[in-house]
Amino acid sequence: MDEHKLGYKGNGVLQELEILTINAKAEQEVILSKILEKNRAAEYLNKFMNGSIDISAFKSQVPVVTYDVVQPYISRIAAGERSSILCGEQIVELLRSSGTSRGEPRLMPSISEDLYRRTYLYSLIMPIMNKYIQDLDEGKAMYLLFVKAETLTNAGIPVRSVLTSYYKSPQFLQRKHDLYNSYTSPDEVILCPDSQQSMYCQLLCGLVERRNVVRLGAVFASAFLRSISFLEKHWCDLVTDIRTGQINSNITNTTCRLAMESFLAQPNPEVADEIEVICSSKSWKGVLCRLWPNVKYIEAVLTGTMAQYIPMLEFYSDGRIPLVCTMYASSESYFGVNLRPLCSPKDVSYTILPNMAYFEFVPLEDGLKSVQDDEVVENDKLVSLVDVKVGCYYELVVTTFAGLYRYRVGDVLQVTGFYNRAPQFKFICRRNVILSVDSDKTNEEDLHGSVSRAKKILENRNHLLLEYTSCTDTSTVPGHYVLFWEIKYTSEGTAPCAPLDAQLLESCCIAVEESLDYVYRRCRARDKSVGPLEIRLVEAGTFDALMDLLVRQGSSINQYKTPRCIESGPSLKLLNSKAIASFFSPRDPEWTV
Ligand code: AMP
């Protein structure tokens, strides 16, 4: 095999990974020492360390914190104070995470060299895939990648998502020479800030190159499925563009349009005919295999809340294309990779890379009982990366070069094993999150607050909300939140069951949505990645029946609490069987940057 190709196979990177994981303990100590050395003058760190860079002083004196503690420092930097209040290097951007605090997006500090850490993790993905699947360099990837609009803080620091930052970086844009990272979409199309236009053009490119495509994917499964449902709606227009070699007049973004004009270049009636036949078929079961016959796998995050999308992906791929989850990452830090990419999405474990950040873990008694945000985590409770135990549950805590110290990421993980000395984790859930369709993450408290606000509207009209629970419904695309409400009519002297007033329930839907957090409202109103919220009214006595059912299944009557979210199974079946009417939010909630 020629050396050139061997280089792309990335054997060197895999050997490096071997050494890194064998020396996980030493590597972690080096990372922590470097962070303490570089950031020793930071105001935040100094408060606890008094200029020391001693690791044991760090472990005993620096507290474990949540975003609320870091937020005032971030706000000061955003307003123009020196980065050195948090870290030794210049903070060059603030990364807008999908996690929120008090309804506002969390902003994570980031320094220039973070880009190299992220790039390192990405550089492992194809060498790992190559070990399992041949000839990936003989075709292209149709990856649906999107950027989001960015803003500037008062002090002029860019605020953007971590992926936007990466896709705009030279590391991403100069990957052209890399045979394994050849994408069907031109960069101008990926970088188009209008996600609808971008999606249209990316699908168009992927369709034109259909026989050349060997990989499909998106970062999260929700975005991939959203694109497939977009295709279901717009394939006629796409086929026309391919047939005529002319891009649809709805593509108004100039750079995107120019790129597509040169991409399409000439009419292609044969490909247009093929796609038309496939897309006009009654059932779209297995459509991905027909549209992209040479695809070897679909890549997307399908772990955590994304697992709800596995059945839909299996439907579109007819269970014949492997679903691959490659990496685990966040705005705070990138974490790890899946070294067995062809395993079932349900069995995915991520091996944490010991050179990304300094990792510690809060042990959890059982996976479902997390430590609350306002509970103090004692320093001596924390376990270091190499000391976690197989089978146990932990909450992830990171210390980064960019100025997060013993920061609770909020993810609950379970140790499944070790790769050399580096532990492997199954992603269990996000602490407290009960509803999530896309990047929205709604916890029980947020949901309760929103429902409480909406129920006042009912009370003003002589109705009482007796009980409620919720679920996400991903049988619609995009998925949406469903609230099951049991309502009692309270006005005396009238019929016990007043006629249902659609307007009243619709205004409740709006009230709930308006008081859900920023990311939810953005997903609904701007990104259109979450559908209108639905209230399903259930008949009288439903929640009693639910309690009976759960008690029969083993819940204690003494400690019974109505679950605020029902994922699946007999409980959901019961609720749906008792639904008597359903109402949807008639408009988008208010949303501003
Ligand atoms: P963000 O900071 O908005 O990029 O969100 C990061 C969060 O997304 C993580 O802390 C996880 O909760 C979730 N996440 C990222 N990668 C994965 C993955 N592979 N599996 C499950 N959840 C993930």
Q: How far is CA 503 from CA 364, 454, 458, 488, 571, in A?
A: 45, 13, 11, 17, 28
Short-list 341, 349, 343, 363, CA closest to 424: 349
Closest CA to 427 of 472, 474, 393: 393
| Amino acid occupying residue 330 | S
- The total domain count for the chain is 2
> What are 151's strand-pairing partners?
159
Closest residue (by CA) to atom 6 of ligand 1?
330
Query: Residue 101's pLDDT band (boundaries 50, 70, 90)?
Result: low
Query: pLDDT grade, residue 103 (50/70/90)?
Result: low
User: Which amino acid residue places its CA nearest to atom 20 of ligand 1?
Assistant: 303
* Contact by Cβ (8 Å): 334, 327: yes
Alpha-carbon distances, residue 358 vs 45, 92, 464, 476 (angstroms): 15, 21, 51, 40
In a domain, residue 36? The reply is no
Is the pLDDT reported for residue 368 higher than 80?
no
Residue 384's pLDDT is: 97
CA distances from 305 to 35, 411, 435, 522, 591 (A): 32, 12, 8, 19, 24
Q: Which of 50-59, 116-125, 138-147, 445-454 has the lowest mean pLDDT?
A: 445-454
Is there a single domain that holds both residue 443 and residue 345?
no
Q: Measured in angstroms, how far is the CA atom of residue 253 from the centroid of ligand 1?
A: 30
Q: Which of 328, 338, 339, 414 to mutate to test the pocket of ligand 1 (most atoms within 8 A of CB)?
A: 328
149-178: per-residue pLDDT in tens? 889 999 999 999 999 999 999 999 987 667
Which two three-digit tokens encode residue 65? Answer: 């914190």
Ligand 1 center–CA 517 separation, angstroms: 18
In a domain, 164, yes or no: yes
What six digits make up the tokens of 374?
């306002």
The helix (run of H) or strand (run of E) holding residue 117 is helix 114-132
Residue nearest to ligand 1 atom 7, measured at CA: 330
Examine the domain organization and report whether 440 and 556 are in the same domain.
Answer: yes
Q: Which of these, 255, 267, 263, 350, lies nearest to 301 by C-alpha position?
A: 350
- The pLDDT assigned to 493 comes to 47
Structural domain including 463 reads 434-584
Query: Reduced to 3 states, what is the DSSP secondary structure of residue 244?
Result: helix
Rounded Cα distance, 391 and 576, in Å: 35
SS3 state of residue 458: helix
Task: Judge if 113 and 183 occupy the same domain.
Answer: yes
Do 488 and 464 form a contact (C-beta atoms < 8 A)?
yes
Closest residue to atom 13 of ligand 1, CA basis:
330
Using most ligand atoms within 8 A of CB, pick from 125, 224, 330, 412 the residue to mutate for ligand 1: 330
Residue 16 CA to chain centroid, in angstroms? 28
Average pLDDT of the segment spanning 356-384:
82
Residue 4 lies in a domain: no
Domain shared by 452 and 314, yes or no: no
| Same-domain pairing of 466 and 379 | no
What pLDDT does residue 65 have? 96
In 474-573, where do the E strands start and end? 480-489, 534-538
pTM tops 0.75? yes
Residue 533 domain flag:
yes
Average pLDDT of span 370-377: 72
The residues, ordered by sequence, that sit 6+ positions from 135 with a Cβ below 8 Å of its Cβ are 214
Q: Which residues, 6+ apart, have CB-to-CB distance to 368 below 8 Å?
A: none
Separation of 306 CA from ligand 1 center, angstroms?
10
Could you report the per-residue pLDDT of 381-405, keeping only the tens digit for each?
A: 999 999 999 999 999 999 999 999 9
Same domain, 120 and 251: yes
Alpha-carbon gap, residue 412 to 362, rounded angstroms: 9
Percent above pLDDT 70 for the chain: 92
> Which of 108, 301, 308, 346 is the pocket-test mutation for ligand 1 (most atoms within 8 Å of CB)?
301
Per DSSP, what are the bridge partners of residue 473?
A: 480
Tokens coding 383: 């376990």
Burial zone of 35 (CB within 10 Å; 0-12 exposed, 13-18 middle, 19+ buried) = buried
| Both tokens assigned to 592 | 């501003």
* 459 shares a domain with 377: no
Ligand 1 centre distance from Cα of residue 329 (Å) = 6
Residue 400 lies in a domain: no
205 with 299, same domain: the answer is yes
Residues 343 and 466 in one domain: no
Distances from the Cα of 460 to the Cα of 450, 465, 468, 486, 514, angstroms = 16, 12, 18, 17, 19
Cα–Cα distance measured from residue 535 to residue 364, given in angstroms and rounded to the nearest whole number: 35
Query: What separation in angstroms does the CA of 175 have from each of 138, 167, 172, 187, 189?
Result: 16, 11, 6, 11, 16
CA-306 nearest atom, ligand 1: 21
Q: Which residue has the higher pLDDT, 53 or 103?
A: 53
Ligand 1 centroid to Cα of residue 337, in Å, is: 13
Find, among 441, 411, 440, 443, the residue nearest to 428 by Cα.
Answer: 411
**Residue 580 within any structural domain of the chain:** yes
Binding-site residues, ligand 1, Cβ < 6 A: 97-99, 162, 301, 303-304, 325, 328-331, 409, 411, 427, 430, 439
Distance, CA of 2 to CA of 88 (rounded, Å): 44
Would you say residue 527 lies in a domain? Answer: yes
Domain identity same for 119 and 246: yes
374 vs 223 pLDDT, higher one: 223
Kindly calculate the radius of gyration of the chain based on its CA atoms and give it in whole angstroms.
25
Q: From the CA of 431, how far away is ligand 1's center (Å)?
A: 12
The sheet carrying 93-101 orders its strands as 104-110, 93-101, 158-160, 151-152
377 and 452 in a single domain? The answer is: no
Q: What is the pLDDT of residue 100?
A: 65
Ligand 1, atom 9: closest residue by C-alpha: 330
**252 and 322, same domain (yes or no):** yes
The residue nearest atom 18 of ligand 1, judged by CA position, is 328
Question: Quick check: is 539 in a domain?
Answer: yes
Query: What are 467-502's pLDDT values in tens digits?
Result: 899 999 998 889 999 999 999 876 654 444 555 689
Model pLDDT, residue 53: 96
Span 520-576, pLDDT tens digits: 999 999 999 999 999 999 999 898 899 888 877 766 565 577 888 887 789 999 999
pLDDT tier at 372 (50, 70, 90 boundaries)? low
Distance in Å, CA 490 to ligand 1 centroid: 45
HSE on the CB side for 564, CA within 13 Å?
A: 14
